[in-house]
Structure 1
Amino acid sequence: MGIEDIASKEFKLRPMKCELNFLSKSDGSAILSQGETVVLASVNGPLDVKMQSQSIEKSTLEVLFCTKGGKPSVGDRYKENIIRQTCETCVLGSVYPRTAITITIQELEDYGGLLSCSLNCVCLALLNSGVAMRCVYAAVSCAVEDTGNIVLEPTHQQLETARANMSFVFESREKTLITSFTEGTFSEDTYKEALERCRAASDLIFGFYRDIVSKYCNVIG
């Protein structure tokens, strides 16, 4: 099981810690903290599914997001949709036709950046499960303050006073943008600056992935 810390003064990302294979009864799992925000993700599958739920071309990807309070909201369904779309882009579902892959995300603590932490935790759980993937991805969030300053991985307090919030997901090969979601008002130049800063910061997350997977492989080897 790999545990590692990472921090950057240049990009001011919050410290990250992760443990793989956290759950014994899933095909892959990870618990990830980014700062004080903590998420647990598990992956099960490919599994047999009922005929009416089967796709002859690819596996069916099911995502369930569970809040700390237990009662789902419209925002939780929105998170599920974003995570599902991102994973469908990266998982090689065509390798597993007529099956289902189930991803469950449990919020443990939310001190800002819950969506990006959830996405990154799911990616690590998928890597742990051995599901075939086209690429690995990394999510980075940022906030635009009233002054125009861009803050990476903002806290709850910074999000509440921000003019805009943005999150970006990049694939590992060319750092191509896979998914983006924004709230608030901002200029085109601000969006471009935020995009490039988050793209650069994603290198740290990909490096974190490599360290975690390498240490885990050394342990089980």
Structure 2
Amino acid sequence: MGVQEMQDFKLKPMKCEMNYLSKSDGSAILAQGETVILASVNGPLDIKTQSQNVEKATVEVLFASKAGKPCIGDRYKEIIIRQTCETAVLGSLYPRTGISITIQELEDFGGLLTCAVNCACLALVNSGVAMRSLFAAVSCAVLQDGNLVLEPAAAQQADARATLSFVFDSRDKSLVTGFTEGMFSEDAYHEALERCRLASDLVFAFYRDIVTKYAPVV
């Protein structure tokens, strides 16, 4: 698959507003299709001695579902988002401090976790926390007929053989995080990986537009 095929790629429409919350160091509300996530960042903050890391900042993530009742799935989302953010944040600049990221699910019509990861990235950018690179999450579903579709709708995702999601950094599109559900072949994995890698350019282009809007360069 060549880069020229990017023009055939279509992701869900994305809309974002930064500085959405006045009492956080950074915030963003992101819609990918009809799925909507609100993320806020606070820090670097003073934290309890027992939670401090002498070499880098301690990143904490809280995921709040629309239902309001925490579950095992929410803890899984927190781990994925925290590991991704830890990779991107230059935590060594903020030893013995904490960076708190809160993710609030507002609407879920498929692609919830990829939307949450992307919203966390935009909230971190808005907070001014130093980062090695930005990161972008894209998902791909393996349908019952074996075809692959980027950013599946909720019905497609529910009926799919598998859903594969990948997070890439903005420097060289290297894989930061991957998470999958269902059964799939090795060939399907590699094809989904490359499709998502190419499609991540669309997400990074969206980031650039949003950052330019909120922080215009003269």
* Match in the other structure for 2:168: 170
* 1:51 partnered with 2:49: yes
The whole-number CA distance in structure 2 between the counterparts of 1:53 and 1:179 is 25
The whole-number CA distance in structure 1 between the counterparts of 2:184 and 2:57 is 38
1:135 deviates by 0.7
* Match in the other structure for 2:124: 126
Unaligned runs of 5+ in 2: 1-5
* Match in the other structure for 1:192: 190
* Match in the other structure for 1:104: 102
The whole-number CA distance in structure 2 between the counterparts of 1:193 and 1:122 is 26
What TM-score, normalized to structure 2? 0.95
1:53 deviates by 1.1
* Match in the other structure for 1:68: 66
Residue type of the partner of 2:106?
A: L
1:218 deviates by 2.7
Residue type of the partner of 1:198?
A: C
What TM-score, normalized to structure 1? 0.94
* Match in the other structure for 2:9: 11
The whole-number CA distance in structure 1 between the counterparts of 2:192 and 2:51 is 40
The whole-number CA distance in structure 1 between the counterparts of 2:178 and 2:53 is 27
Residue type of the partner of 1:209?
A: Y
Residue type of the partner of 2:172?
A: E
Secondary structure of the residue aligned to 1:218 is coil
Residue type of the partner of 1:53?
A: S
Count how many residue pairs are aligned between Structure 1 and Structure 2. 213
Give the root-mean-square deviation of aligned CA atoms: 1.3
1:9 deviates by 6.6
1:79-101 residue CA offsets vs partner (Å, 9 max, x unmatched): 00000000111101010001000
1:19-75 residue CA offsets vs partner (Å, 9 max, x unmatched): 011000000000000000000000000000111111110111110000001001101
1:154-211 residue CA offsets vs partner (Å, 9 max, x unmatched): 1111111100011000000110001101111111111111000000100000000000
Unaligned runs of 5+ in 1: 1-7
Secondary structure of the residue aligned to 2:187 is helix
The whole-number CA distance in structure 2 between the counterparts of 1:55 and 1:191 is 36
1:143 deviates by 0.6
1:127 deviates by 0.3
Structure 1 moving runs of 4+ over 4 Å: none
Q: How many percent of aligned residue pairs carry the same amino acid?
A: 72
1:109 deviates by 0.2
* Match in the other structure for 1:159: 157
* Match in the other structure for 1:182: 180
Residue type of the partner of 1:160?
A: A
The whole-number CA distance in structure 2 between the counterparts of 1:48 and 1:33 is 32
Residue type of the partner of 1:135?
A: S
1:150 deviates by 0.6
Q: Which residue of the other structure, out of 196, 202, 205, is the alignment partner of 1:204?
A: 202
The whole-number CA distance in structure 2 between the counterparts of 1:50 and 1:183 is 37
The whole-number CA distance in structure 2 between the counterparts of 1:189 and 1:146 is 15
1:112 deviates by 0.1
The whole-number CA distance in structure 2 between the counterparts of 1:52 and 1:160 is 42
The whole-number CA distance in structure 2 between the counterparts of 1:145 and 1:49 is 46
